[in-house]
């Protein structure tokens, strides 16, 4: 018996281990029992309340960061509001353009948005977000219901470069509505609303106030696209000096239409190529 | 010697609270460092296997009361205290500081491996398969706790060991 107690005294750690492990396993098994469940619930409520207090304390330290986060969020929301407002305005403009364009077969035109513009005294260009993927080709006319904007000079997959009327290299054949006087419209730089009509003989009956539109002589635009209004006619011995106020306000140009109709290739061929061989259908030989 | 018991008791209660409300928030791939296991190991090394087992059980019970896993925490604490007790350095021994430190590190590593293994086997906090859970908890849990072990020893426990 004595040796048994000695053994126990020597191995109390094992006994404690056995005892505590048994209690622990018992507690694990009895976790669903009401009493233990109540103890666990009490423990969890203590845990939750302490965690809440600690969270409140840590919130105090994180207020600055939280404010910065709110400011950033506010900035993001404000940016969204601004962009959406812009989109609504664009949509209104587009709707107005569509409504105004009842005379034109709107559906045939390709609608594009001006995504970039480079305006200077000499070389103005516009970039629109429609390229060959949407059917835009080089030398197509670009317009709005108000009038002619320019011509397509370069096309990529999704974008096109437009040479506007207010470019020194731009020229278009125009005709006046009342006197049917033909001439060439060009821009010499300076005021972006004023262009000039050239090659008009001094003997013409052209008067201020007449409206100009593209003519059949144009190499890229179909006839009848409004261009501008004559504001001043002054002449010398041979040719008249004519100022034209353009209909397009380039400073607020947002949406444009690209006209898929181009001048007839046959007409261009015969105009620029002197050695055009007529393609006469030949009668078949034999019976 | 007797004066040390209240100190260890209070320390274990405080560390259980710190473990539950602070350290347990440092979750690394589902595993958290175990500051309480480190101190249980220290207690066992300093006060012996039997006392370490007692403290381990009590500390585990208290932590379980806070966390909701009373049985499991008590079991883990008991096993940790018991296993760490094998590295006990008696007060009357003339062990060098280096030896004491080495024994404490061994005790901590043993307790942490055993505790994490038990925990991984008996509970599934990450809801992942066992073959992933055990290595993950064992490796990450033990390594992160060993970092704490070294820090705690160098900053605090070294001074306590000398006293």
- The ipTM assigned to this model is 0.84
Above 60 in pLDDT, residue A27? yes
Q: Do residues A24 and A16 touch, judged by C-beta distance below 8 A?
A: no
Decide if domain A35-164 falls under CATH 3.40.50.980: no
Cβ within 8 Å, pair A36-B70: yes
| A13 to chain B: closest CA residue | B50
Instruction: Report CA dihedral (A6, A8, A10, A14) to the nearest 10 degrees.
Output: 170
Distance from CA of B38 to the nearest CA of A (A): 19
Highest mean pLDDT among A22-36, A109-123, A257-271, B66-80: B66-80
- Contacts with B56 from chain A: Cβ below 8 Å: 20
> Residue A209 to residues A7, A188, A206, A228, A257: CA-CA distances in angstroms?
125, 21, 9, 10, 26
Interchain CB distance below 8 Å, B70 and A39: yes
- What's residue A287's pLDDT? 40
**% of chain B residues with pLDDT over 90:** 31
Whether residue A181 has pLDDT greater than 80: yes
- The verdict on a CB contact (< 8 Å) between A43 and B68 is yes
> What CATH number belongs to A171-252?
2.40.10.350
Compute the mean pLDDT over every residue in chain A, rounded to the nearest whole number: 79
Interchain contact, A43 vs B72, CB within 8 Å: no
Position A183 pLDDT exceeds 60: yes
Q: What is the pTM of this model?
A: 0.47
Position B66 scores a pLDDT of 84
Task: With CB atoms and an 8 Å threshold, state whether A24 touches B82.
Answer: no
Q: How confident is the model at residue A285 (pLDDT cuts 50, 70, 90)?
A: very low
Share of chain A above pLDDT 90, in %: 7
pLDDT score of A46: 77
CATH 2.40.10.350, chain A: domain bounds: 171-252
The answer to whether residue A48 neighbours chain B at the CB level (below 8 Å) is no
Which residue of chain A has the CA closest to B82? A17
- Provide, as residue numbers in chain A, all residues whose Cβ is less than 8 Å from the Cβ of B82: 13, 16-17
Interface of B with A (CB under 8 A): 17, 20-21, 48-50, 53-54, 56-57, 60, 64-68, 70-72, 74-75, 78-79, 82, 85, 122
Residue B21's φ and ψ, nearest 5 degrees, are: -105, -15
Q: What is the pLDDT of residue B108?
A: 93
Task: Please list the ranges in chain B whose pLDDT falls under 70.
Answer: 1-3, 124-128, 162-163
Radius of gyration of chain A (CA): 41
Among the partner-chain residues A17, A25, A47, the one whose CB lies closest to the CB of B71 is A25
Say what the pLDDT of residue A268 is: 67
| CATH class of segment(s) B4-20+32-162 | mainly alpha
Min distance A91 CA to chain B CA atoms (Å): 50
Pairwise CB contact (< 8 Å): A21 & B78: yes
Report the chain B residue with the minimal C-alpha distance to residue A26.
B71
More confident residue, A277 or A164: A164
pLDDT tens digits, residue range A5-16?
777 777 788 888
Backbone angles phi, psi at A233, to 5 degrees: -125, 120
A49 to chain B, minimum CA–CA distance in Å? Answer: 11
What is the pLDDT confidence band of residue A286, given thresholds at 50, 70 and 90?
very low
- Supply the pLDDT for residue A87: 82
- Most confidently modeled range among A87-101, A202-216, B105-119: B105-119
Q: What is the pLDDT of residue B54?
A: 92
pLDDT reported for residue B41: 93
Contact flag A50-B50 (C-beta cutoff 8 Å):
no
CB contact under 8 A, B78 and A17: yes
Distance, CA of B26 to CA of B33 (rounded, Å): 7
- Categorize the per-residue pLDDT at A275 as very low, low, confident or very high, splitting at 50, 70 and 90: low
Residues A198-205, mean pLDDT to the nearest whole number: 82
């Amino acid at each position: 018996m004595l040796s048994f107690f000695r053994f126990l005294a020597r191995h109390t750690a094992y006994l404690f281990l056995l005892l505590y492990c048994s209690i622990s396993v018992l507690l694990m098994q009895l976790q669903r029992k009401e009493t233990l469940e109540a103890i666990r619930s009490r423990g969890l409520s203590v845990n939750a309340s302490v965690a809440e207090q600690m969270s409140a304390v840590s919130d105090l330290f994180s207020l600055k960061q939280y404010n910065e986060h709110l400011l950033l969020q506010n900035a993001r929301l404000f940016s969204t509001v601004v962009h959406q407002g812009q989109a609504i305005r664009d949509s209104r403009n587009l709707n107005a353009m569509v409504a105004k364009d009842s005379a034109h077969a709107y559906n045939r035109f390709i609608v594009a948005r001006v995504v970039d513009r480079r305006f200077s005294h000499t070389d103005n260009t516009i970039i629109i977000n429609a390229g060959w993927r949407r059917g835009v080709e080089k030398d197509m006319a670009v317009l709005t219901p108000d009038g002619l904007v320019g011509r397509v000079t370069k096309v990529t997959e999704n974008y096109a470069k437009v040479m506007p009327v207010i470019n020194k290299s731009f020229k278009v054949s125009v005709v006046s509505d009342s006197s049917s006087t033909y001439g060439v419209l060009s821009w010499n730089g300076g005021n972006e609303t004023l262009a000039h009509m050239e090659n008009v003989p001094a003997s013409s009956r052209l008067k201020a106030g007449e409206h100009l539109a593209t003519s059949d002589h144009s190499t890229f635009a179909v006839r009848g696209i409004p261009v501008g209004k004559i504001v001043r006619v002054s002449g010398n011995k041979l040719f008249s000096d004519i100022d034209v106020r353009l209909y397009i306000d380039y400073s607020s140009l947002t949406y444009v239409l690209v006209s898929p109709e181009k001048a007839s290739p046959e007409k261009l061929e015969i105009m620029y190529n002197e050695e055009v061989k007529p393609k006469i259908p030949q009668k078949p030989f034999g019976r | 010697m007797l004066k040390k018991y209240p100190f260890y008791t209070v320390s274990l209660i405080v560390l259980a609270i710190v473990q539950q409300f602070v350290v347990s928030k440092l979750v690394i791939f589902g595993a958290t460092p175990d500051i309480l296991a480190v101190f249980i190991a220290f207690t066992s090394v300093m006060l012996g296997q039997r006392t370490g087992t007692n403290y381990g059980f009590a500390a585990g019970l208290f932590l379980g009361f806070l966390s909701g896993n009373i049985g499991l925490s008590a079991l883990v604490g008991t096993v940790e205290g018991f296993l760490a007790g094998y590295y006990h350095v008696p007060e009357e021994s003339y062990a060098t500081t280096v030896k004491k430190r080495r024994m404490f590190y061994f005790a901590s590593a043993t307790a942490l491996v055993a505790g994490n293994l038990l925990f991984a086997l008996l509970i599934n906090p990450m809801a992942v398969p066992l073959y992933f859970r055990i290595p993950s908890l064992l490796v990450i849990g033990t390594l992160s706790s060993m970092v704490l072990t070294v820090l705690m020893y160098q900053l605090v426990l070294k001074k306590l060991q000398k006293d």
